Copies of this chain bind each other. A is one copy, B any other.
Amino acid sequence: MREINLSDLDDLALGAAILGTGGGGDPYIGKLVARAAIEEFGPVRLLSLDEVPDGAQVVACGAMGAPTILIEKLPGGDEMDLAFAAWEAHTGRRIEAVIPFEAGGVNSTVPLAVAARRGLPVIDADGMGRAFPQLEMETFNVYGVPACPTAIADEKGNVAIVETAAAAQSEWIARGLTIRMGGQAYVANYGMTGETARRVSVPGTLSLTIGIGRTLREAKARKRPPVEALIEFFAGTHYGLARRIGAGKVADVSRREVNGWSVGTVRIEPLAGGAPIEIQIQNENLVAEQGGEVLAVVPDLISILDLDTAEAIPTERLRYGQRVDILAVRVPEIMRTPEALKVFGPAAFGLPHAYRPLEAAA
């Protein structure tokens, strides 16, 4: 067991942006909320999956909504408390540990705030191993944990509990609630025991996120090329492989709002010349192609990084002329089984591509 304290939050936010793969909401905002909570209530205990007691009541949580709205509608900090209280009242069970439902974006840090406020440990794991745009895209769901009851709260004190049979239905209904709650809401779902969490979660992702941020920070301090440092860092983790699949200049960004998501394409002209790299987006970067060849495809990570700092550029901040590296990262085996690919592989996003593991790509 270790602790997450104020000095970890900058690294966590840097790393969360990369695992956000373009989406997941601005980690800076999550950092502010977590900082306020840790300053008031003290550091958060971080439990590895091995350390969680078998019978402990675990609940997943995070923010839901459009990243662009999060910026305009800052969380007050106690929205998640309301969702937790509603979940507990509804089930008659007491929450004993918190697991982020998403690593990456705002949701690496949002769970820390509620954990600090309630004196609960956070589990060093999550259900996405990255950011995904929908609540059913969870290893929890893949491996049989019901999403419901799902508790949802907003900053005005409105709360709803949703019960559906399928996780995808709960996403659909919770998304509708989130829209009515002003486009941003706070969700507690996927209740499970510690024993189950061990079986169905992507392990070590909070440590991984902090490690990514630390790697960037140290590379900067040592004036080392940060992308190289990242690639070396990932090679030593359970993700095992990161690869720079291109570098270039943002030549075109087309993006529109569809059903509450940012959907579009970014075209990057390689600095070295050659065919442009096209990346398709649904909040997150889904597939990168060059001259008809797939460089990387979801669920493997595709992150667009500033060429100089290797800091991730989220979808909503992509602009013509930015000079970028494109980093792809392999996801752990638990996210690449046939069952997992059914829930968050290319076909789940309506893409015609077969999944091609990063290590097998060109």
- Residues from chain B with a CB closer than 8 A to the CB of A338 are none
Q: What copy number does this chain have within its complex?
A: 2
- CA gap between A176 and B154 in the complex, in Å: 14
Q: Which of B89, B90, B160 contacts A162 (CB 8 A)?
A: B160
- Residues from chain B with a CB closer than 8 A to the CB of A157 are 164-165
The 0/1 profile, CB within 8 Å of B marked 1, for residues 119-163 of chain A is 000000000000000000000000000000000000011111111
Verify if A177 is at the interface (C-beta below 8 Å from B): yes
The 0/1 profile, CB within 8 Å of B marked 1, for residues 55-90 of chain A is 000000000000000000000000000000010011
Verify if A173 is at the interface (C-beta below 8 Å from B): yes
Verify if A175 is at the interface (C-beta below 8 Å from B): yes
B158 touches A173 (CB 8 A): yes
- CA gap between A86 and B90 in the complex, in Å: 10
Verify if A219 is at the interface (C-beta below 8 Å from B): no
Query: Considering only CB atoms, which chain B residue lies closest to A158 in the complex?
Result: B164
B158 touches A163 (CB 8 A): yes
Verify if A320 is at the interface (C-beta below 8 Å from B): no
A181 touches B177 (CB 8 A): no
CB distance from A335 to the nearest CB of B (A): 28
Verify if A36 is at the interface (C-beta below 8 Å from B): no
Q: Which of B160, B175, B180, B181 contacts A175 (CB 8 A)?
A: B180
Query: Considering only CB atoms, which chain B residue lies closest to A92 in the complex?
Result: B92
Closest 4 CB pairs of A and B: A176-B180, A161-B161, A159-B163, A158-B164
Known pairs A176-B180, A177-B180. 13 more at Cβ < 8 A? A90-B90, A158-B164, A158-B169, A159-B162, A159-B164, A160-B162, A160-B173, A160-B177, A161-B161, A173-B180, A173-B181, A176-B176, A176-B177
